[in-house]
Amino acid sequence: NDLPLFWDPDLLAQGHHLPRFYRNLPSRFGIIPRRGDTSQIRWFEAEPTYVLHFVNAYEDGDEIVLDGFFQGDPEPAARPGEDRWAKAFRYLALDRMQARLHRWRFNLRTGATTEQQLSDSITEFGMMNGAYTGLGYRYAYAATGEPGRFLFNGLTRHDLQTGTEEHYAFGEGVYGSETAMAPRVGSTGEDDGYLVTLTTDMTQDASFCLVFDAARVGDGPVCTLRLPERISSGTHSTWASGAELRRWHETDDPASAIAL
């Protein structure tokens, strides 16, 4: 993608790196055959925005469908009276960027782009069942943000078929990480599995691993494990089953299996 948020050329010439959002320029998305070359790139234009993370993309007839988080204000202005932390975090705070789940459709036959906002909720750092990567899917899971800060204070389950949502708030002073989706062994449905996230409770100076039923996020965690050390919040994460780890069946120590 080629999005209209980039270094200010005039300031860059003076050795200063300051990003600017150019609202008069379109967002551009390039599509190339999987085994193609640069001569086959097709560019599609869309509404100007910046996208920090995408969730999934798949083919639907003549169209490529792309889901991600559209920023309504990629360059939030400083507010009177803000301290230096608020000024710094305004470029990462979800509420200031106005990040919402969004869908783009690129028609390979007509060359047209259509797009729609999928949710009114402010969310980011989307995750889905990895088995549906590149395929039509129904559920996306995302983080909600602490107003004015780059901190995740809860989870949202987006049902892209019905448009309904479930929310869970971690609680006062508790902040989470990017949430991984772990399909249940022998799972039979897209949401038949678990959401796993790491949280830090600033009131207890402690960190926890929370496990949710992916089909019932609003019910809260089905398991809470205290970690031996406090960790930072907001970190990226991924999920790999034991069967995918080469040394998983060679040791009784899980840490050794992942070379820790």
* pLDDT for the residue numbered 235: 72
Cβ-proximal residues to 78 (8 Å cutoff; 6+ apart), any chain: 87, 90
Integer distance in angstroms from the first to the last C-alpha of the chain?
Answer: 36
Q: Tokens 């993608």 appear where?
A: 1
Residue type for position 43 = W
Report helix, strand or coil for 248.
helix
Cβ-proximal residues to 123 (8 Å cutoff; 6+ apart), any chain: 69, 94, 99, 100, 101, 142, 143, 144, 145, 156, 158
> Which residues of the chain are modeled with pLDDT < 50?
none
Cβ-proximal residues to 52 (8 Å cutoff; 6+ apart), any chain: 69, 71, 97, 99, 124
Q: Could you count the other beta carbons within 10 Å of the beta carbon of residue 35?
A: 6
* pLDDT for the residue numbered 243: 79
Assigned token pair, 163: 């448009």
Reported residue count of the chain is 260
Q: What is the pLDDT of residues 187-224, one digit of tens each?
A: 999 999 999 999 999 999 999 999 999 999 999 999 99
Q: Give domain limits for the chain.
A: 5-257
- What is the spatial distance between Cα 46 and Cα 103, in angstroms, rounded to a whole number? 11
Assigned token pair, 218: 């609003």
